Amino acid sequence: MNKNFPASSLTIEDIVAVGQSDSRITLSKDGILLTKRCTDAIEKMLKKKSIVYGVNTGVGDLCDSFLPDEQLSELQENIILSHACGDAPYFSDEIARAAFFLVLNARAKGYSGLSTHTIQTLAKMFNNEVTPQVPMQGSLGASGDLISLAHISLMLLGEGNVKMNGKIVPAKTMQKKLGLSRHSFSPKEALSLINGTEVTTATSAFTVGGAERLLSSSVRATAALFEIFGSQVSSLDEDIHLLKPYPGQLRVAKELRAHLKGSKLIARPKEKVQDPYVIRCTPQIDGAIVDQISHTRNVVETELNAITDNPLFFIDGDEVKAVSGGNFHAQNIAFAMDGISIALVAESKIIERRIERLLNASLSELAPFLVMESGLNTGFMIPHYLVAALVAENSILAHPASIQTVSVSANQEDFVSMAMTAANKASQILHNCERILSIELLLVAQAMDLMIEKNGTPISSFSKSAQKIHETVRGSVKTLRKDRYMSEDIHKVLTHLQNGDFGNQPKVDKQK
């Protein structure tokens, strides 16, 4: 993938692609003109002895400390060195590269004071498969992701370690291989690099993309349960949902109807007229989760295209205006990621309840724990324990980070968002949900096999959607006939899920 930057309409898909591929980026002619215009304007301001935060003053609570011209370059280097105090654990290479790109893209729009030379130097590193080691901890989600971003900027000084062509090497070694030397910063550059929400935003983008994939596959699994349990489809009638027309509810009901098309197994005669909530109310419950994901997508994509460092420079002819503000404050992201966390926890609990219905013979009318010769064989009893543990962990992780503000910098930065903490928690909750759903997909395929072998149900009686689940799972995992080591089975299905192998994953409609 080759991409010119700066781009102004980035999507979550763009950022995931940049992070996951061997992308190459090029600073456009417009980017060169915009960045040069801004750095020229800063030079003029300094000649006029204008006082500009972070250019010729200290930072944080030291903003009133004015510095002479001969100390300005040292100030920028000190800003990076003092802020680069993070450590392992580090973000994945995909998130680190996505954040790296976002830093360059935003700074190339000409509001931040990062020079063309510095941007091109960093782009050279990016294009040579240099990936910064970005700490997961330390950002307060205000004044930007200071510590994490400082570790990206640290590469310019030849300090710390980086990953190059898949191997961790000292940054000095990387510079030598690329013919680079220790970078000398112009006024404002270092502050520009460490101020911003790019790491939190990159993390959030991957989580939103994964959540959309999860929900789409979960709805497909639910449709298969309609068939396995012979559930009533009247709950999916469009007329019902038009009377409560939430976008997500309408979409989930429509998807379920589409997945069930051609099935000969739904609405089989049974004692109860109504199905349990996790089947009957799927459009209302999963639909609400879809709407929350849709809202989070809107927030994240707004942040992807935003300028979030400080101060910012606005140029009109010969006039330049330096404005100190707070675009680095990630309160929207914090709230949104806490919201998606709560929604995903609900989804994990819904899937767990569906798993219980599959494993409990009194509810499923299938073999106990979906294995013949139960008693001699435990079947899928214990994977349910794993699910229960993951659901409990999710519930603990769902406690909102966005209410955990702590005052720092001598009370100068007195209300912070904790957006990165919210994003990291959401990412872990998503991963737990993916493992939970992977187990359910295993069970769906196993239940179908039992119906085919014990009840003589033809595979053709199932919908094409259910057959897709069965085909995908059985492509790598054999039917469970007696107890065996199951960790690998779960991991194989998890890989299919993360690769989107259970069918097309429709994009969540944006809210209007």
Tell me what the pLDDT averaged over the chain comes to: 92
Residues in contact with 179: Cβ distance below 8 Å, sequence separation at least 6, in sequence order:
none
For residue 141, the one-letter residue type is G
Tell me: pLDDT of 209 over 60.
yes
Q: Is 81 exposed, middle or buried (0-12, 13-18, 19+ CB in 10 A)?
A: middle
Task: Give the side-chain half-sphere CA count within 13 A for 50.
Answer: 18
- Angle between helix axes 331-359 and 419-454 (nearest 10 degrees) is 20
Tell me: pLDDT of 249 over 90.
yes
Tell me: pLDDT of 512 over 60.
no
Instruction: Encode burial over 398-425: b for 16+ CB neighbours within 10 A, e otherwise.
Output: bebbbeebeeebeeebeebbbbbbbbbb
d(CA 161, CA 95): 17
Are 38 and 59 in contact, with CB atoms under 8 Å apart? no
- The pLDDT value recorded for residue 61 is 65
Of 53, 111, 246, 485, the active-site residue reads 53
The segment(s) of the chain belonging to CATH 1.20.200.10 are 203-308+323-498
pTM of the model: 0.93
Kindly report, residue by residue over 359-415, the tens digit of the pLDDT.
999 999 899 999 988 889 999 999 999 999 999 999 999 999 999 888 887 777 777
- The pLDDT value recorded for residue 1 is 60
If you average pLDDT over each of 52-61, 350-359, 406-415, which comes out highest? 350-359
Kindly report, residue by residue over 146-190, the tens digit of the pLDDT.
999 999 999 999 999 999 988 999 999 999 999 999 999 988 898
Are 439 and 370 in contact, with CB atoms under 8 Å apart? no
Are 154 and 175 in contact, with CB atoms under 8 Å apart? no
For residue 318, the one-letter residue type is D
Q: Within 10 Å of residue 489's Cβ, how many Cβ atoms?
A: 19
The segment(s) of the chain belonging to CATH 1.10.275.10 are 2-196
If you average pLDDT over each of 41-45, 310-314, 458-462, which comes out highest? 458-462
d(CA 122, CA 104): 8
Mean pLDDT calculated for residue range 494-509: 76
Residue predicted with more confidence, 190 or 72: 190
> Nearest CA to 509 among 207, 201, 216?
216
d(CA 482, CA 379): 7
3-state SS class at 486: coil
3-state SS class at 366: coil
Please report which confidence band the pLDDT of residue 202 belongs to, taking 50, 70 and 90 as the band edges.
very high
Least-confidence region, from 11-20, 136-145, 186-195, 410-419: 410-419
Sign of CA dihedral 21, 27, 31, 35: positive
Domain 203-308+323-498 belongs to what topology? Fumarase C; Chain A, domain 2 (1.20.200)
d(CA 312, CA 110): 9
- The pLDDT value recorded for residue 372 is 86
Which segments within 41-176 are labelled E, that is strand? 130-132, 161-164, 167-170
Q: Within 10 Å of residue 56's Cβ, how many Cβ atoms?
A: 22
3-state SS class at 389: helix
CATH classification for the domain delimited by 2-196, as one of 3.40.718.10, 2.60.40.10, 1.20.1250.20, 1.10.275.10:
1.10.275.10
Mean pLDDT calculated for residue range 218-244: 96
Q: Are strands 24-27 and 130-132 parallel, antiparallel or unpaired?
A: unpaired
Mean pLDDT calculated for residue range 322-326: 90
Q: Is 53 a catalytic residue?
A: yes
